[in-house]
């Protein structure tokens, strides 16, 4: 193997490449067609290119580029002068262990479902960039999350293509003598075995547990089939594997975490395994609980009581009967840890309650969500006053480099002296912006929107092809004409996220005539792009998709309202960079934070959102638009109508006229002022570098620094 070939192979085995535009383009240029076909997966790409071909391409085309990228990668990996070594040296010896049921790192690794996973992925990337000693723990889901298809009626169908380890940059974890490392967990009366995989994410490592091995009975193999798949029984088994299995894995690796971070309650059973270890050392139950508490921090993401994981007493008994004995506690003690009222253990076991009881700190994911969480859980702390409740907040962010794009990257590089620090502070962002003319900025927008429209045409021809496979093509269905009708001159609004009903995707269709007038306004037209998956069991969410697809086929909306199937990280990257406006209209306060709107900002996109989650604290009157000013009502329908009316008002009276107000060069000066304000006020704050620094200084360190 030549030097270049081995360098390319090496780069493919660390997901660092996924947030380095040059590395990404290197892989893409090896074979642009194949790159699309393998879903941007370099390991798969390299499996399809013969060694000779690879050598030839590496030699003649990009020898020096490969050398450059590899050198930067090696410098990155070897850098010891990092933020963490300077600001949190206590954490260098022992890792932060971060547990999450899903990680959205790249579209080629389908072990995530939505926002929670993307957040975990962006968290681990920033932890790597900041130089934290950091390991992630999750499961390896062989079928991942589903691929979404729409049938001719617009109804969502699910498909579960398998993921093969040999096509992914994951390695089997082995013992010193070269055998597979196998972890054992007790579930009900059985022992379940899990193989461990490791994945390099820059300097950080993600470990993935996998029960899909011959040693297990088939129903235990299925624990690692699907992200959030199956019933409650499957769910509890997955959570045991993640929490208890995860702690056992760390022990087998001789890692002694400085802190265990539970990202959402799914992994809360990890506290039980820590408890078992303390009790085995000879501590009494109460003392052992205190010890566990000293080691754990917890982040909650769910602002409504119904959203929290809960298990029945019977299910707990069945599943933990044997484990509690191993643990050295009795079943009642276990139930008390997860009961909202410890005096009454006959009801449900709540994972969030367990997490809150056995963590030294807890936080929500935006300022508003912190308030909501304090109020929701105050009874656990024996108070009526939310201010007395020790739940803080750290607002979510995004990993800026991952959400940039080749084009956006080059744009900012050509205007900033120091691209590394471009969005590290408002001052540096403003400095770069001061070198960007309105025409430059408008060109960026125009170009990104054209790229998106090109992408959509290619994507749709595939999508329509599939739709017509289910039912014969109807001549009167002219949806094929969609491709040509999107225009880069038209104000483009995007809405894409999980189709959980609280996100109210169809809101903009509340008044069809009014929307028709907006979309088909002859001088100020608008086009809408939708995408999103409903959970396979969520028929109400699927019905929302069906409605939007049906509406998009009406003559007045054809080619102007688009639904893209199979929303994922790759589609998200395209959408957030291309649209002018990112729309978010959830039921306040159900969007704990939301992050997708943050992704659009560095591309010059603007947010139009309900005052919920992160937007509630980021909106300042000049950096986007708010829908209403934070009203809440207990009446769902009434709230829906009012929010929809407010949405139309902002669109008609403020947003659309601003977009179409042009100077003599046809540049929307007032609009671009908003864009500048958005970039300066949002990008430096709502990113995971800031977020992980906050976690470190406030929660990961034993002695908080802020
Ligand atoms: C960012 C992202 C999300 C989260 O979107 P929200 O609007 O914050 O809920 C979900 N899915 C994908 C693929 C994303 O990239």
Mutate to test the pocket of ligand 1, among 228, 502, 596, 618 (most ligand atoms within 8 A of CB): 596
Looking at 186-330, list the stretches that DSSP marks H as alpha helix, in order from N- to C-terminal side.
218-221, 232-240, 246-252, 270-280, 285-295, 313-327
Residue 89 lies in a domain: no
Q: How far apart are CA 674 and CA 651, in angstroms?
A: 15
Boundary (domain end) residue, out of 24, 44, 78: 78
Residue 84 lies in a domain: no
Sort residue 94 into left (φ over 0), alpha (ψ -120 to 50) or beta: beta
Ligand 1: distance of its center to the CA of 115 in Å?
4
C-beta neighbour count of 478 within 10 angstroms: 12
Mutate to test the pocket of ligand 1, among 120, 227, 496 (most ligand atoms within 8 A of CB): 496
Residues 407, 381 share a domain: no
Cα-based distances in Å from 504 to 412, 489, 515, 532, 616: 35, 28, 16, 12, 18
Contacts with 420 (C-beta within 8 Å, 6 or more apart), sequence order? none
Residue 161 lies in a domain: yes
Residue 705 lies in a domain: no
Q: Do the beta carbons of residue 464 and residue 479 sit within 8 Å?
A: yes
Average of per-residue pLDDT across 360-388: 97
Residues 353, 432 share a domain: no
Ligand 1: distance of its center to the CA of 150 in Å?
20
Mutate to test the pocket of ligand 1, among 572, 575, 601, 616 (most ligand atoms within 8 A of CB): 572
Residues 557, 669 share a domain: yes
Average of per-residue pLDDT across 503-531: 98
Cα-based distances in Å from 344 to 189, 308, 315: 26, 19, 17
Residues 584, 457 share a domain: yes
Residue nearest (by alpha carbon) to ligand 1 atom 8: 594
Q: Which residue has the higher pLDDT, 594 or 418?
A: 594
Give φ, ψ of 165 to 5 degrees: -55, -35
Ligand 1: distance of its center to the CA of 572 in Å?
7
Ligand 1: distance of its center to the CA of 113 in Å?
9
Q: How far apart are CA 158 and CA 150, in angstroms?
A: 9
Ligand 1 atom closest to residue 568's alpha carbon, by position in its atom list: 13
Average of per-residue pLDDT across 54-70: 83
Residues 412, 359 share a domain: no
Is residue 383's pLDDT more than 50?
yes
Residues 253, 109 share a domain: yes
Residues 262, 171 share a domain: yes
Looking up tokens 């091995």, which residue turns up?
213
**Sequence-distant contacts of 69-74: CB under 8 A, at least 24 apart:** 69/7, 69/11, 69/20, 69/22, 69/23, 69/26, 70/7, 70/10, 70/11, 72/20, 72/22, 73/10, 73/11, 73/14, 73/16, 73/17, 73/20, 73/23
Mutate to test the pocket of ligand 1, among 497, 586, 618, 682 (most ligand atoms within 8 A of CB): 497
Residue nearest (by alpha carbon) to ligand 1 atom 3: 115
C-beta neighbour count of 10 within 10 angstroms: 12
Residue nearest (by alpha carbon) to ligand 1 atom 7: 596
Ligand 1: distance of its center to the CA of 290 in Å?
36
C-beta neighbour count of 278 within 10 angstroms: 19
The pTM score is 0.97
Ligand 1: distance of its center to the CA of 483 in Å?
25
Cis bond upstream, residue 268 (ω within 30):
no
* Percentage of the chain exceeding pLDDT 90: 89
Residue nearest (by alpha carbon) to ligand 1 atom 1: 596
Residues 544, 457 share a domain: yes
Q: Do the beta carbons of residue 403 and residue 22 sit within 8 Å?
A: no
Q: Which residue has the higher pLDDT, 321 or 55?
A: 321
Is residue 16's pLDDT more than 60?
yes
Could you write out the DSSP letters of every residue in 536-559?
Answer: TT-HHHHHHHHHHHHHHTSTTTTT
Q: Do the beta carbons of residue 306 and residue 501 sit within 8 Å?
A: no
Residues 409, 325 share a domain: no
Read off the pLDDT of residues 79-93 as tens digits, 9 standing for 90 and up: 999 999 999 999 989
Task: Please tell me the total count of domains within the chain.
Answer: 3
Ligand 1 atom closest to residue 398's alpha carbon, by position in its atom list: 1
Ligand 1 atom closest to residue 576's alpha carbon, by position in its atom list: 15
Sort residue 84 into left (φ over 0), alpha (ψ -120 to 50) or beta: alpha
Ligand 1: distance of its center to the CA of 533 in Å?
11
What 3-state DSSP class applies to 283? coil
Boundary (domain end) residue, out of 78, 111, 142: 78
* Percentage of the chain exceeding pLDDT 70: 97
Ligand 1: distance of its center to the CA of 496 in Å?
7
Ligand 1: distance of its center to the CA of 597 in Å?
9
Ligand 1: distance of its center to the CA of 114 in Å?
5
Length of the chain: 706
Ligand 1: distance of its center to the CA of 539 in Å?
20
Read off the pLDDT of residues 270-293 as tens digits, 9 standing for 90 and up: 999 999 999 999 999 999 999 999
Ligand 1 atom closest to residue 113's alpha carbon, by position in its atom list: 11
**Which tokens hold the place of 477?**
């269905």
Ligand 1: distance of its center to the CA of 497 in Å?
5
Average of per-residue pLDDT across 423-437: 94
Residue 563 lies in a domain: yes
Tell me which residue range forms the domain holding 140. Answer: 95-396+692-700
pLDDT for the residue 464: 72
Nearest to 544 by CA among 303, 568, 651, 552: 552
What 3-state DSSP class applies to 495? strand
Q: Do the beta carbons of residue 201 and residue 14 sit within 8 Å?
A: yes
Is residue 363's pLDDT more than 50?
yes
Boundary (domain end) residue, out of 78, 110, 142: 78
Residues 177, 242 share a domain: yes
Mutate to test the pocket of ligand 1, among 115, 534, 565 (most ligand atoms within 8 A of CB): 115
Residue nearest (by alpha carbon) to ligand 1 atom 5: 596
Q: Where residue 389 sits, what CATH number does that domain have? A: 3.40.50.2000
Ligand 1 atom closest to residue 532's alpha carbon, by position in its atom list: 11
Compute the mean pLDDT over every residue in the chain, rounded to the nearest whole number: 94
Beta bridge partners of 196: 209
Q: How far apart are CA 257 and CA 134, in angstroms?
A: 9
Ligand 1: distance of its center to the CA of 595 in Å?
6
Residues 131, 44 share a domain: no
Ligand 1: distance of its center to the CA of 596 in Å?
5
Is residue 477's pLDDT more than 60?
no
Ligand 1 atom closest to residue 584's alpha carbon, by position in its atom list: 7
Residues 498, 459 share a domain: yes
Q: Which residues form ligand 1's pocket by a CB distance below 6 Å?
A: 114-115, 118, 497-498, 567-569, 572, 594-596
Q: How far apart are CA 513 and CA 588, in angstroms?
A: 26
Ligand 1: distance of its center to the CA of 625 in Å?
20
Q: Do the beta carbons of residue 329 and residue 285 sit within 8 Å?
A: yes
Residue nearest (by alpha carbon) to ligand 1 atom 4: 115
Residue 478 lies in a domain: no
Read off the pLDDT of residues 117-171 as tens digits, 9 standing for 90 and up: 999 999 999 999 999 999 999 999 999 999 999 998 999 999 999 999 999 999 9
For residue 475, what pLDDT band results from cuts at 50, 70 and 90?
Answer: very low
Q: Which residue has the higher pLDDT, 355 or 58?
A: 355
Residue 475 lies in a domain: no
Mutate to test the pocket of ligand 1, among 103, 105, 106, 114 (most ligand atoms within 8 A of CB): 114
Cα-based distances in Å from 494 to 219, 461, 560, 597: 41, 20, 12, 10
Average of per-residue pLDDT across 89-116: 96
Measure the CA dihedral 359/364/367/372, to 10°.
Answer: -100
Question: What is the pairing mode between strands 561-564 and 526-531?
Answer: parallel
Is residue 478's pLDDT more than 70?
no
Residue 476 lies in a domain: no
Cα-based distances in Å from 44 to 169, 208, 370: 9, 19, 42
């Amino acid at each position: 193997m030549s030097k270049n070939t081995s360098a390319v192979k090496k780069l493919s085995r660390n997901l660092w490449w996924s947030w380095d535009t040059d590395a990404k383009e290197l892989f893409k240029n090896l074979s642009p067609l194949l790159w699309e076909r393998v879903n941007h997966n370099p390991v798969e790409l390299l499996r399809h290119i013969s060694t000779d071909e690879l050598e030839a391409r590496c030699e003649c085309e990009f020898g020096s580029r490969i050398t450059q990228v590899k050198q930067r990668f090696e410098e990155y990996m070897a850098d010891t002068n990092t933020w963490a070594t300077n600001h949190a040296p206590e954490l260098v010896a022992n890792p932060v262990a971060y547990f999450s049921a899903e990680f959205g790192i790249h579209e080629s690794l389908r072990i995530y479902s939505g926002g929670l996973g993307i957040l975990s992925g962006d968290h681990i990337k920033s932890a790597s960039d900041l130089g934290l000693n950091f390991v992630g723990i999750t499961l390896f889901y062989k079928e991942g999350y589903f691929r979404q298809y729409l049938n001719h009626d617009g109804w969502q169908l699910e498909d579960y293509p398998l993921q093969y380890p040999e096509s992914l940059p994951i390695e089997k974890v082995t013992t010193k003598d070269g055998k597979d490392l196998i972890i054992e967990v007790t579930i009900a009366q059985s022992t379940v075995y899990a193989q461990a995989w490791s994945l390099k994410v820059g300097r950080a490592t993600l470990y993935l547990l996998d029960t899909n091995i011959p040693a297990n009975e088939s129903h235990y193999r299925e624990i690692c089939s699907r992200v959030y798949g199956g019933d409650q029984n499957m769910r509890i088994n997955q959570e045991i594997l993640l929490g208890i299995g995860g702690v056992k894995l760390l022990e087998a690796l001789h890692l002694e975490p400085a802190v265990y971070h539970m990202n959402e309650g799914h992994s809360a059973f990890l506290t039980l395994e820590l408890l078992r270890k303390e009790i085995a050392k000879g501590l009494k139950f109460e003392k052992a609980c205190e010890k566990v508490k000293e080691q754990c921090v917890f982040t909650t993401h769910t602002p409504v009581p119904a959203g929290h994981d809960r298990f029945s007493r019977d299910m707990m008994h069945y599943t933990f009967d044997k484990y509690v004995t191993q643990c050295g506690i009795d079943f009642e003690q276990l139930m008390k840890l997860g009961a909202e009222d410890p005096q009454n253990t006959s009801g449900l076991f709540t994972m969030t309650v367990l997490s809150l009881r056995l963590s030294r700190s807890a936080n929500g994911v935006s300022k508003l969500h912190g308030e909501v969480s304090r109020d929701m859980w105050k009874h656990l702390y024996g108070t009526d006053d939310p201010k007395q409740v020790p739940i803080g907040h750290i607002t979510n962010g995004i990993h800026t480099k991952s959400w940039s794009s080749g084009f956006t990257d080059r744009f900012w590089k050509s205007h900033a002296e120091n691209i590394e620090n471009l969005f590290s502070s408002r001052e540096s962002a403003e400095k770069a912006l001061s070198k960007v003319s309105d025409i430059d900025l408008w060109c960026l927008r125009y170009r990104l929107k054209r790229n998106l429209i090109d992408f959509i045409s290619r994507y749709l021809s595939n999508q329509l092809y599939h739709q017509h496979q289910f039912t014969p093509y109807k001549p009167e269905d002219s949806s094929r004409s969609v491709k040509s009708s999107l225009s880069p001159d038209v104000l483009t609004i995007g809405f894409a996220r999980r189709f959980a009903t609280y996100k109210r995707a169809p809101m903009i269709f509340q008044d069809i005539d009014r929307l028709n007038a907006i979309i088909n306004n002859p001088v100020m037209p608008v086009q809408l792009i939708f995408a999103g998956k409903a959970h396979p069991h969520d028929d109400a969410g699927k019905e929302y998709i069906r409605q939007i697809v049906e509406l998009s086929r009406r003559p007045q909306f054809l080619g102007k309202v688009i639904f893209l199937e199979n929303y994922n990280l790759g589609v998200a990257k395209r959408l957030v960079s291309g649209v002018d406006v990112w729309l978010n209209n959830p039921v306040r306060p159900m969007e704990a934070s939301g992050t997708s709107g943050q992704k659009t900002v560095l591309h010059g996109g603007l947010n139009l959102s309900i005052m919920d989650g992160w937007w509630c604290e980021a909106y300042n009157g000049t950096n986007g638009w708010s829908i209403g000013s934070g009203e809440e009502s207990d009446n769902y329908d009434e709230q829906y109508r009012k929010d929809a009316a407010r949405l139309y008002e902002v669109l008609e009276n403020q947003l659309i006229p601003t977009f179409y107000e042009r100077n003599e060069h046809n540049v929307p000066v007032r609009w671009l002022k908003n864009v500048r304000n958005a970039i300066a006020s949002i990008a430096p704050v709502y990113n995971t570098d800031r977020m992980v620094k906050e976690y470190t200084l406030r929660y990961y360190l034993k002695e908080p620094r802020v």
